[in-house]
């Protein structure tokens, strides 16, 4: 179990979590050596404290769950999360930019967040259930070219999660 655990992000992004909930998931992450605890930005300072002597890192979300905020606010949110102790960021793209063919704006947005998070892992969430095949290909290329560390398929808060076909298209 411990061998695979180091590849798992222990995630809870429900809006009603308390410090006690954060303490519990951090304890579980430490116990099983999960790669990270992914929580909403408001809980980053607590998770940082609870995981300070742990293998597990603190991960948080940017522009979650819709991605529909300005690049400037995403940048500010990323910088604040890093300042609070986040060691990984999961950013939701601006899906409207992708749908409107605003490829340059989308690439600039991703690149700006990549630069903001230069020393930490950035995962870009593309919400595959809202995209057609051409859009999945286009955004996957853009994420790769931006220098982000990972593409994530889904927030888990939209219509459905990803499927094997989505993963094949991204790959």
pLDDT in tens, 12-68: 999 999 999 999 999 999 999 999 999 999 999 999 999 999 999 999 999 999 999
Does position 76 have pLDDT exceeding 90, yes or no?
yes
Task: Dig out the tokens for 20 from the structure.
Answer: 């006690």
**Do 57 and 95 share a domain, yes or no?**
no
Sorting pLDDT into bands at 50, 70 and 90, what band is 3?
A: confident
Q: Which pTM does this prediction carry? A: 0.93
Contacts of residue 15, Cβ cutoff 8 Å, sequence gap at least 6: 40
Model confidence at 2, in pLDDT bands (50, 70, 90)?
A: low
Residue 160's domain comprises 88-171
78 within a domain of the structure (yes/no)? no
Lay out the sheet containing 121-125: strands in order across.
9-11, 36-39, 57-62, 88-92, 121-125, 150-152
- In this structure, are 108 and 165 located in the same domain? yes
């Amino acid at each position: 179990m411990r061998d695979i655990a180091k590849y798992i992000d222990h995630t809870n992004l429900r809006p009603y979590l308390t410090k006690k909930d954060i303490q519990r998931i951090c304890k579980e992450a430490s116990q099983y050596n999960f790669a990270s605890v992914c929580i909403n930005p408001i809980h980053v300072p607590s998770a940082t404290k609870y995981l300070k002597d742990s293998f597990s890192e603190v991960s948080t979300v940017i522009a979650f769950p819709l991605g529909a905020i300005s690049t400037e606010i995403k940048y500010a949110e990323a910088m604040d999360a890093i300042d609070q102790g986040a060691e990984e960021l999961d950013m939701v793209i601006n899906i409207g930019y992708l749908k409107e063919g605003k490829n340059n704006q989308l690439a600039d947005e991703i690149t700006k967040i990549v630069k903001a998070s230069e020393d930490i892992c950035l995962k870009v969430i593309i919400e595959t259930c809202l995209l057609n095949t051409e859009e999945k290909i286009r955004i996957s290329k853009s994420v790769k070219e931006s220098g982000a560390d990972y593409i994530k398929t889904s927030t888990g808060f939209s219509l459905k999660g990803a499927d094997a076909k989505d993963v094949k298209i991204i790959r």
